[in-house]
Amino acid sequence: MILAVDIGNTNITTGIYNENDLMFVIRAATDRTRTPDQYAVELSSMLRIHNAENYEFEGAIISSVVPELTNVIKDAIYTITGCTALLIGPGVKTGLNIRIDNPAQLGADLVAGAVGALNKYKMPCLVLDMGTANKISVIDSKGTYRGCTISAGIGISLNALSSGTSQLPAISLDAPQSAIGTNTIDSMQSGTVLGAAAMIEGLCARLEEALGEEVQTVVATGGIAGDIIRYCRMDIIHDPDLILDGLKFIFERNKI
């Protein structure tokens, strides 16, 4: 068994692999105040819920964009599995050629998502990661990571809209029947949900133009991807486990 963990700003997502099969996925809220023991208790409880507390783990791998939690989760994993987790970072073999100004600055989640796409889909490819931030990675026909876009996630935008105004409420991520909102909630949903979908369409078109190659695959992952891409007027594959799969591929490449 392999334990793959993606530590994000909002959620910590854990996948359990049996060889190439993803057995199940665990999602927990990111809490920067918890100790390794507290995370170990939570992980142990979740494994027990899935009747997996007696699994024998071959290893573990972590991607993290929350530096203060990286070693906390690593210690928790060691407590539960006895395995020292591999951390995505410089020196780890990924099979991904990164061609940006400073490859060391590329987020571990973007690396894992790109590796997952590279091993699963036709290139050139655009990888949408929609979570706390919205990111679109560009991978060319040779499998080279060329760069990305980063913008505020929908949750951040909605929080700013609701908290920064006196009369605008919190809303759900549903699109109204018409793009022309005739009440406050419909207007906010149109601007937020349909606006995000339109931004994705526009950015993908501009990225393809800048790349100079016809994009063969657009794939979306992340916590809110499914809520938004259904309103996009283009073909987008929804792959919620893309980052975990990428971590699994990287783990296999680095096995001793």
- On whether both 112 and 209 belong to a single domain, the answer is yes
- On whether both 103 and 80 belong to a single domain, the answer is no
Paired strand residues for 86 = 61
For residues 46 and 88, what is the distance between their CA atoms, to the nearest angstrom? 24
- On whether both 156 and 224 belong to a single domain, the answer is yes
Q: Where are the alpha helices (DSSP H) in 121-241?
A: 154-163, 184-189, 195-211, 225-229
Range of the domain at 46: 2-87
- CATH number at 26 reads 3.30.420.40
The answer to whether 32 and 69 are in contact (CB under 8 A) is yes
pLDDT tens figures, 95-128: 999 999 999 899 999 999 999 999 999 999 999 9
Q: What is the set of active-site residues?
A: 109
The answer to whether 250 and 61 are in contact (CB under 8 A) is yes
pLDDT tens figures, 64-101: 999 999 999 999 999 999 999 999 998 899 999 999 99
- On whether both 118 and 236 belong to a single domain, the answer is yes
The answer to whether 244 and 23 are in contact (CB under 8 A) is no
The answer to whether 173 and 160 are in contact (CB under 8 A) is no
> Is 80 exceeded by the pLDDT of residue 233?
yes
Number of domains in the chain: 2
CA-to-CA separations, 29 to 10, 41, 109, 239, in angstroms, rounded? 6, 14, 17, 20
pTM to 2 decimal places = 0.91
Nearest in space to 224 (alpha carbons), one of 157, 169, 179, 145: 157
- On whether both 33 and 120 belong to a single domain, the answer is no
For residues 94 and 214, what is the distance between their CA atoms, to the nearest angstrom? 25
